């Protein structure tokens, strides 16, 4: 306890770090305030049906990532997800399109161009998504007319549609701007931190609802709640191990003599991550699993309805089995694309290094590829288990809102962003010659040890 108090004091002794933390808290308050600003023309007192529909399934996930703004019909309703979708598209294009590959290799100038393209693509995605969201809000609202000015009554005009779409675009762009400010002037990881805040904002309400449900069961409810929290604790510990897990490959650098100086002759280590793909396999797999819902909307045949019924139940057996297999497949695919073992082997060779017992060049690439395949298997299996964990705990009777915190993208984002944020704070402490946040070692985030 004394060490914690001393660490907090050290944090606020560093003027730059103190300003960054306070600035980040201010931005977070602005973001949370905007989550309750309802689109003009919609009565916030008539959103109960929309909020109830936003507690389960896909809408529940979207509402959680937006911090409740989706269910509040807020100007921040679409949240940062359109930007995330745009970044995924750009990332995929960078794997296949030479133009985007060239931009990725151009350094800072290329990164600026990619960010600009990403912003334009985000606007396009919001323009496509906004009318669908507004239509869903209008369907959920009551139809009775209270005053002639109620735009939610049966036939809203063009001005309401146009202004709502513009406000949703502005809301998403404003959230992007807030994230960039946190990255520039705050403690970093702005976009990720905003997503994490949106998820955490739903945690107290979900936990209170879970406690109420368990206490209503009588004497055994408290025991079941304790078991749930123990399971959540161990799942979180396992997720931290998944995020931080690495396999170190030794690389020996040969001695070189240039003039009167000697270079090389040291051994270093290449950290290969157990989960190099991060949360991307879950996102890709979820996109595939949403296809039956889309197909069912176009063709309403009996056979398709039966197929869609099996693959649209996020707690069903077949949905989670296919979801689990897809995550393993996408983990291998994304790792193979992002981890270029041939390039790694070439870089080691160019720098005069070699892996002891392995020939440089092609043999080194094959060795690295074999190691990545071996460590990716347990990582992909555990990633799949984490992804389907909400469905597993729902079998124990856990409420839908609280079950989301047991796995999937939400838990990985929470763990990853918290570790990255603590790593940023610890780097400031160590730079000013203060003790770090832990007694032994240094905190490792998603990008590895500092």
The model's pLDDT over 60-79, given as tens digits with 9 standing for 90+, comes to 666 777 777 777 888 888 88
Interacting residues of 312 by C-beta distance below 8 A, sequence separation 6+: 292, 293, 296, 319
The confidence score (pLDDT) of residue 302 equals 44
The confidence score (pLDDT) of residue 85 equals 80
The confidence score (pLDDT) of residue 447 equals 47
The confidence score (pLDDT) of residue 332 equals 87
- Report d(CA 314, CA 390) in Å as an integer: 9
Q: What percentage of residues in the chain have a pLDDT greater than 70? A: 78
Which residues lie across from 3 on neighbouring strands? none
Residues 263-272 have pLDDT tens digits of 556 677 788 8
Residue bearing tokens 């994230």? 179
How sure is the predictor about 29, in pLDDT bands with cuts at 50, 70 and 90? very high
- Cβ-in-10-Å burial (0-12, 13-18, 19+) of 262 comes to exposed
Angle between helices 81-96 and 158-185 (to 10 degrees): 70
pLDDT of 262 higher than 60: no
Mean pLDDT, residues 211-235 = 83
* DSSP reduced 3-state for 269: strand
In whole angstroms, how far apart are CA 385 and each of 247, 272, 321? 21, 21, 10
pLDDT of 26 higher than 90: yes
Mean pLDDT, residues 381-403 = 83
Say if residues 61 and 404 touch (Cβ distance below 8 Å).
yes
Say if residues 78 and 171 touch (Cβ distance below 8 Å).
yes
How sure is the predictor about 450, in pLDDT bands with cuts at 50, 70 and 90? very low
Q: In this structure, what is the dihedral angle of CA atoms 140, 144, 147, 152, given to the nearest 10 degrees?
A: 20
pLDDT of 233 higher than 70: yes
The confidence score (pLDDT) of residue 151 equals 47
- Report d(CA 157, CA 136) in Å as an integer: 16
Domain ranges of the chain: 1-188, 203-450
203-450: which CATH architecture?
A: Orthogonal Bundle (1.10)
Mean pLDDT, residues 427-432 = 76
The confidence score (pLDDT) of residue 304 equals 47
DSSP codes joined into one string, 343-405? HHHHHHHHTTEE-TTS-TTHHHHHHHHHHHHHHHHHHHHHHHHHHHHHHHHHTTT--HHHHGG
Question: What tokens does 143 get?
Answer: 């139809």
- Between 130 and 45, residue with greater pLDDT: 130
Nearest 5°: the CA angle 371, 377, 379 is: 100
Interacting residues of 78 by C-beta distance below 8 A, sequence separation 6+: 66, 70, 126, 129, 130, 133, 168, 171, 172
Other beta carbons less than 10 A from residue 422's beta carbon: 17
- Report d(CA 45, CA 36) in Å as an integer: 12
> 115-129, 283-297, 387-401: lowest mean pLDDT where?
283-297
* Topology alike, domains 1-188 and 203-450: yes
Average pLDDT of every residue of the chain: 77
The confidence score (pLDDT) of residue 87 equals 82
In whole angstroms, how far apart are CA 121 and each of 131, 132, 291? 17, 18, 22
The confidence score (pLDDT) of residue 301 equals 45
Chain-centroid distance of CA 269 in Å reads 29
pLDDT of 279 higher than 90: no
Mean pLDDT, residues 378-403 = 84
Order the strands of the 353-354 sheet from edge to edge. Answer: 267-273, 246-253, 353-354
Chain-centroid distance of CA 189 in Å reads 12
Provide the b/e sequence for 217-231 (b: ≥16 CB within 10 Å).
eeeebeebbeebeeb
Maximum mean pLDDT: which of 62-66, 183-187, 285-289: 183-187
Q: What are phi and psi of 81, to 5 degrees?
A: -60, -35
> 50-59, 111-120, 241-250, 294-303: lowest mean pLDDT where?
294-303
Q: What are phi and psi of 319, to 5 degrees?
A: -60, -50
Mean pLDDT, residues 215-230 = 81
Say if residues 93 and 100 touch (Cβ distance below 8 Å).
yes
In whole angstroms, how far apart are CA 15 and each of 239, 273, 301, 429, 432? 33, 35, 65, 11, 11
The confidence score (pLDDT) of residue 259 equals 55
Residues 141-166 have pLDDT tens digits of 665 444 444 545 445 777 888 888 89
How sure is the predictor about 257, in pLDDT bands with cuts at 50, 70 and 90? low
Q: Which of 186, 182, 167 is nearest to 42 (CA)?
A: 167
Global model pTM greater than 0.85: no
- Between 267 and 132, residue with greater pLDDT: 132
* DSSP reduced 3-state for 147: coil
Residues 300-353 have pLDDT tens digits of 444 445 556 666 677 778 888 888 998 898 888 888 877 778 888 888 888 777
Longest dimension (CA), the chain: 89
The class (CATH top level) of 1-188 is mainly alpha
């Amino acid at each position: 306890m004394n060490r914690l108090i001393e660490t907090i004091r050290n944090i606020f002794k560093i003027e730059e770090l103190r300003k960054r933390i306070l600035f980040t808290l201010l931005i977070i308050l602005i973001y949370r305030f905007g989550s309750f600003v309802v689109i003009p023309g919609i009565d916030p007192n008539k959103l109960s049906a929309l909020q109830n529909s936003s507690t389960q399934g896909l809408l529940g996930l979207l509402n959680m990532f937006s911090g409740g703004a989706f269910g509040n019909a807020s100007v921040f309703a679409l949240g940062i997800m359109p930007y995330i979708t745009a970044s995924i598209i750009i990332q995929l294009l960078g794997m296949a399109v030479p133009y985007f590959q060239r931009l990725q290799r151009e350094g800072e100038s290329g990164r600026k161009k990619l960010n600009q393209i990403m912003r334009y693509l985000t606007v396009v995605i919001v323009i496509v998504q906004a009318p669908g969201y507004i239509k869903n809000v209008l369907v959920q609202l009551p139809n009775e007319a209270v005053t002639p000015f109620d735009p939610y009554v049966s036939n809203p005009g063009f001005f309401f549609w146009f202004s709502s779409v513009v406000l949703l675009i502005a809301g998403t762009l404003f959230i992007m701007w807030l994230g960039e400010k946190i990255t520039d002037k705050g403690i970093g990881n702005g976009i990720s931190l905003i997503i994490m805040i949106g998820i955490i904002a739903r945690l107290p309400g979900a936990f209170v609802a879970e406690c109420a449900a368990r206490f209503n069961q009588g004497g055994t409810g408290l025991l079941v709640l304790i078991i749930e929290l123990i399971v959540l604790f161990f799942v979180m510990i396992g997720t931290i191990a998944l995020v931080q897990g690495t396999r170190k490959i030794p690389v020996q650098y040969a001695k070189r003599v240039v003039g009167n100086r000697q270079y090389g002759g040291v051994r270093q280590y290449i950290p290969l991550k157990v989960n190099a793909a991060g949360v991307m396999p879950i996102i890709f797999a979820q996109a595939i699993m949403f296809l039956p819902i889309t197909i069912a909307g176009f063709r309403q045949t009996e056979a398709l309805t039966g197929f869609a019924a099996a693959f649209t139940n996020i707690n069903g057996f077949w949905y989670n089995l296919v979801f689990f297999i897809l995550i393993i497949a996408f983990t291998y695919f994304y790792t193979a694309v992002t981890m270029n073992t041939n390039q790694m082997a070439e870089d080691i060779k160019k720098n005069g290094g070699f892996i002891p017992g392995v020939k440089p060049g092609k043999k080194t690439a094959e060795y690295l590829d074999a190691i990545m395949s071996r460590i990716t298997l347990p990582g992909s299996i555990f990633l799949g288990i984490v992804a389907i964990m909400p469905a597993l705990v729902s079998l124990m009777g856990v409420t839908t809102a609280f079950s989301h915190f047991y796995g999937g993208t939400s838990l990985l984002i929470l763990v990853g962003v918290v570790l990255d944020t603590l790593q940023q704070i610890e780097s400031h402490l160590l730079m000013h010659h203060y003790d770090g946040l832990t007694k032994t070692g240094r905190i490792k985030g998603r990008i590895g040890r500092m």
